[in-house]
Structure 1
Amino acid sequence: MKVLYWDIFAGISGDMALGSLIALGANPEKIIEQLHSIGLNEFRLDIRLRQVQGIQATDIDVVVLDNHEHKQNFSHNHEFANNHTHGHDHDHDHEHEHEHAHEHNHEHGHEYKNEYVQHDHTPVTHAHNRYLPDIQKMIMSGSLSERAQESALKVFNVLAEAEANVHGTTIDKVHFHEVGAVDSLVDIVGTCIALDQLDIEEIRVSTLPWSKGFVQCAHGTLPLPAPATLMLLRGFKFRDSGITGELITPTGAALMKALAQQTDFPEMIIHNVGYGSGKNDYGIPSLLRGVIGEI
């Protein structure tokens, strides 16, 4: 049985998950082609190799294109080069449900705010809201494999359930104006496509790092882990990390809740190891380590 073990010593987010799978051999060209097939065209995927405390990792940025770029460029940019720089900033008027706005300290000399999930994402020409049925229709409309479709639907379903629980509503009334954002859809659906490409039969995860602190959002000040994140991770085992700041995003939590089980490292033959890069600097390597092996 082919197993993916995510070693979550520094947390997990959608871009860290996708980055780790590309580092393990998932084909970004095919991922983008399948994302286009579900009507997700208004983005460019920037991928580069990055040194994080001496460890080479795959760093992902989802760049939301404006109308002119969208018409001019349906391709993506995935230069694996340490000197790669991004010609963008994330100026999309992010208003947050529970705001995941972090100052990311990239080594290529600029800082910007990049919200992984759960944010009001209103790019200039893509300001539309999505409910769960809208996202379900998108996922089912393209050329994704049955396994990738099922995985993506599971992730969004558990995310909707957590949001409904936190906000005291029902799943059919959950408004995906944040998770429906292009970058979050790319992270979640792209990860499910990559898992299918790598023929992963089972995902296991390590003990999770508990962090503390607060985040400012549209509702006021919320504690970390964010309420939806913590709702998703009921039943998971944590250890205190001693870190102030967000380590696990709702996207990362939903991926684990829907697709993974938590265990000690299994007895298996290791085939490959890959690292997905995060954007924070809390004094430890901001990395998600993916280990593929055979049980």
Structure 2
Amino acid sequence: MKEASPGVKQILYFDCFSGVSGDMILGAALDLGLDLQEMKDMLGCLNLPGWRLERERVNRGGITGTRAIVYVDETQPPERNLPVILALIEKADLPDVIRSQSAAVFRRLAEAEGAVHNIPAEKVHFHEVG
């Protein structure tokens, strides 16, 4: 990935007026210059078996971009709730700061989903990220 010039801060702002998905975020990172193999190596730190990542150029509504496609070997991906996701994050080969930030993001997502569905955060199933 391209380095910022010394003393220059880089900020990425997502204007997700109609939502955003994980494949869209990964595709945007690839469009910004992240190498596909570097992304695969980073995702490999999660120690999750049975997946592969590919990219393709797409044109939707006249806008061209990169679509990241994650293929999973399982026909029925496991349903993972917050405690399972937090355990996966804890076991991942990630720097401590990334591990704690990732756990905080999933806790917040679980709290929001739980509030919407009137269930405890620990019972929320992350079917779309699992």
The reply on whether 1:171 has 2:121 as its aligned counterpart is yes
RMSD, aligned CA: 2.4
Aligned equivalents of 1:145, 1:28: Cα separation in 2: 21
Aligned equivalents of 1:172, 1:35: Cα separation in 2: 24
Matches of residues 148-187 of structure 1 in structure 2 within 5 Å? 148-176=98-126, 178-179=127-128, 184-185=129-130
Equivalent residue in structure 2 for 1:20, among 25, 28, 48: 28
Please identify which structure carries the higher helix content. 2
How much has 1:129 moved relative to structure 2? 3.2
Instruction: Give the number of aligned pairs.
Output: 122
Aligned equivalents of 1:38, 1:11: Cα separation in 2: 25
String of CA shifts for 1:140-164, please: whole Å, max 9, x gaps.
2222233432332222111110222
Q: Does structure 2 retain, via aligned residues, the 8 Å contact 1:37–1:141?
A: no
How much has 1:132 moved relative to structure 2? 1.3
Matches of residues 115-134 of structure 1 in structure 2 within 5 Å? 122-123=76-77, 128-134=78-84
- Percent of counterpart pairs with the same letter? 34
Gaps of at least 5 residues in structure 1 are: 67-91, 93-121, 186-295
Superposition misfits of 4+ residues, deviation over 6 angstroms: none
Gaps of at least 5 residues in structure 2 are: 1-8
How much has 1:54 moved relative to structure 2? 4.7
The reply on whether 1:63 has 2:71 as its aligned counterpart is yes
Q: Which has the larger radius of gyration?
A: 1
Q: Which has the higher contact order (CA 8 A, sep 6+)?
A: 1
Please identify which structure carries the higher strand content. 1
* TM-score, normalised via structure 2 length: 0.74
String of CA shifts for 1:6-29, please: whole Å, max 9, x gaps.
233553222111211111122332
Q: Does structure 1 retain, via aligned residues, the 8 Å contact 2:47–2:93?
A: no
